[in-house]
């Protein structure tokens, strides 16, 4: 089971938001730049220290990517 986390943070500058793919342990395993699902980027090694601090998200659970 994966979590798809669409970032909805309103930044004071022009920082872009992305959609992130997290595994069962909460590690970031990939993302969709600028929420564009056609440009999926998967990492060879999950980011274990990925932080959700100071950010807002809408979360969806999916079985597979």
CA–CA gap between residue 24 and residue 64 (Å, rounded): 11
pLDDT at 65: 77
pLDDT at 36: 96
CA–CA gap between residue 65 and residue 62 (Å, rounded): 7
Number of domains in the chain: 1
CA–CA gap between residue 2 and residue 34 (Å, rounded): 19
pLDDT at 29: 97
Q: What are phi and psi of 22, to 5 degrees?
A: -115, 145
Q: Give the residue ranges of the chain where pLDDT is below 50.
A: none
Q: What is the pTM of this model?
A: 0.90
- Planar angle of CA 10, 12, 14, nearest 5 degrees: 85
pLDDT at 50: 85
Query: 48 lies in which domain range?
Result: 2-62
């Amino acid at each position: 089971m994966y979590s798809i986390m669409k970032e909805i943070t309103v930044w004071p500058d022009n920082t872009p938001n992305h959609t992130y793919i997290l595994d069962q342990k909460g590690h970031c395993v990939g993302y969709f730049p600028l929420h564009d699902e056609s440009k999926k980027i998967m990492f060879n090694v999950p980011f274990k220290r990925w932080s959700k601090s100071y950010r807002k998200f809408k979360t969806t659970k999916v079985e597979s990517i």
